């Protein structure tokens, strides 16, 4: 896996991450993680769980299109 991150490391980008467990006690799966959080350890393989970004995404409340105090409703755009 390219750009592999380990449990205990900081999440660099918000999005969906593929998780691969050590010892094959569980199949790989996907989780959502927010930038700045810490990847947690697995209850079975502890800090040997590995994470790889599968789909980058921006948290909706931090996206510039969604945190404006004013909303423009269709048909109500002001013309200058």
Residues 56, 28 contacting (CB under 8 angstroms): no
Please give the structure tokens belonging to residue 70: 């004013």
Contacts by residues 68-76 (CB-CB < 8 Å, ≥ 24 positions apart): none
CA–CA distance, 11 with 38 (Å, rounded to integer) = 6
CB distance 52 to 9 below 8 Å: no
Cβ atoms < 10 Å from Cβ of 14? 19
pLDDT in 10s for each residue of the chain, 80 residues: 569 999 999 999 999 999 999 887 889 999 999 999 999 999 999 989 999 999 999 888 888 888 666 666 666 555 54
Task: With 0.95 as the threshold, say if the pTM is over it.
Answer: no
């Amino acid at each position: 896996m390219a750009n592999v991150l380990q449990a205990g490391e900081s999440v660099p980008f918000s999005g969906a991450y593929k998780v691969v467990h050590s010892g094959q006690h569980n199949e790989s799966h996907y989780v959502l993680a927010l930038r700045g959080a810490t990847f947690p350890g697995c209850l079975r393989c502890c800090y040997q769980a590995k994470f790889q970004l599968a789909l980058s995404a921006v948290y909706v409340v931090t996206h510039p299109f969604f945190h404006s105090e004013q909303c423009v409703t269709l048909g109500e755009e002001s013309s200058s």
